[in-house]
Amino acid sequence: MASDKNYIPEPEKRAFLKGAGLSIAALMIGGLSMERYVVPKDRGVPVMDNFPLAALEDPSGTRITTTDVINYAAASPSSTSSPILVFNYPLQDEPNFLIVLKGVKVTTPKTSPSSGYAPVSPSSNAPMDGIIYTNYNGINYSILAVSGICQHLGCVPPFLDYHPGKSIPFESKLIGYQANAPGTPAQWPDYGLIYCKCHGSQYNPLWGGRNLYNNGPASSPANHSLPQIMLATDSSNRIYAYGINSTNAVIRTHLQFPGGETYGSQVKSEDLTGGTAIRTSRTPTVYPSTMQTGDITSISSPNYTPLTTSSLGLNSNSSGIILYRTTVVSNEGTWKGSFSGSTSNNSS
């Protein structure tokens, strides 16, 4: 272990995190316990056999729809920062961003897991696996979710924050990002960046959270992509999380073997390691028999992907497939329900 360049001794890790003020971040975003997932007590012991099928709810307990998040994003100020929408998944205290991109389809930029994430332009018309590409009032939207745990040293929102197009944060300007300096090409992506204030890691939501390592004006210290949470909807356009992209990085703090990225089945077991399961539904026997993901702008679209709950390898008990639930919170703006600044109801 000591020979691994990514290994950080526990005392040093804790000291760093406390020094970075992450407990303040935890308070701001709702009582998220940093050390809990930075240092999982039971690392190596998966909490569940499979990823949970989780309904996304607002703080009042009402399931949210694609329309809800599109309206929220459209109505919110974007002069400095998009409101942060965060939900825990697949375990408690593991925040993820819920991001809405207007007028663009997020496609799959990767070539193959084994070749890494070379900066290639999206060439396929197919939406990326696990995003929701939908149409509302004549405008297309991509709705996606990526981990809110920075893959460098684990900073979380609001230190890791999403900044939409042209709202370049001061810290990013310091490392050389500029919108349209005379004679200099604009470097800030049209759809903004997920930017980590801790040490400057940069992730492009248009590429599904893919790391911009050495592609921005300054190197990104993180060398992993943000894990992508798989999203789907039911026939009522309610949003569900149903897994983590198996070709994406393991949640950093879950790396049992921190020598590098792992892919395939190991992603599932590592991402379900440590911590506590999110809460189950009050009515666990009510779950969608079918879901859809990908391009749902037209039911006849070849990119529309039906998902059956029986095909997803979801957790079940004697009553059937277990439906979990997780609360989507925001730290600014008016969100549905009464945002109390706490995700504590995720454990109720």
Minimum Å distance from CB 12 to ligand FES? 14
* Residue number with CB closer to ligand FES (206 or 222): 222
* Residue number with CB closer to ligand FES (224 or 325): 224
Would you say the C-alpha torsion 171, 177, 179, 181 has a positive or negative sign? positive
What is the C-alpha radius of gyration for the chain, rounded to an integer number of angstroms?
19
* Residue number with CB closer to ligand FES (105 or 224): 224
CA distances from 337 to 61, 328, 330 (A): 8, 10, 11
* Residue number with CB closer to ligand FES (128 or 155): 155
* Residue number with CB closer to ligand FES (85 or 212): 212
Minimum Å distance from CB 201 to ligand FES? 4
* Residue number with CB closer to ligand FES (196 or 321): 196
- Which residue ranges make up the site for ligand FES (CB under 6 A)? 150, 152-155, 196, 198-201, 221-222
Report DSSP state, residue 203: E
Minimum Å distance from CB 152 to ligand FES? 3
Minimum Å distance from CB 222 to ligand FES? 6
Report DSSP state, residue 197: T
C-alpha to C-alpha distance for 64 and 302, rounded to whole angstroms: 26
Q: At what angle do helices 22-29 and 10-19 cross, to 10 degrees?
A: 60
Minimum Å distance from CB 320 to ligand FES? 40
Contact (Cβ atoms closer than 8 angstroms) between residue 245 and residue 73: no
Three-state DSSP state, 325: strand
* Residue number with CB closer to ligand FES (59 or 148): 148
For β-strands 95-102 and 239-244, DSSP reports them as: unpaired
Minimum Å distance from CB 34 to ligand FES? 11
Extract the tokens encoding 325.
């639930």
Minimum Å distance from CB 286 to ligand FES? 39
Minimum Å distance from CB 192 to ligand FES? 17
Three-state DSSP state, 39: coil
* Residue number with CB closer to ligand FES (34 or 329): 34
* Long-range pairs of 317-320 with CB within 8 A, sequence gap ≥ 24: 319/284, 319/285, 320/284, 320/285, 320/287
**Which phi-psi region, left, alpha or beta, contains residue 121 (left: φ > 0; alpha: ψ -120 to 50)?**
beta
Q: Give the DSSP H or E segment for 133.
A: strand 132-136
Terminal-residue alpha carbon distance, the chain: 37
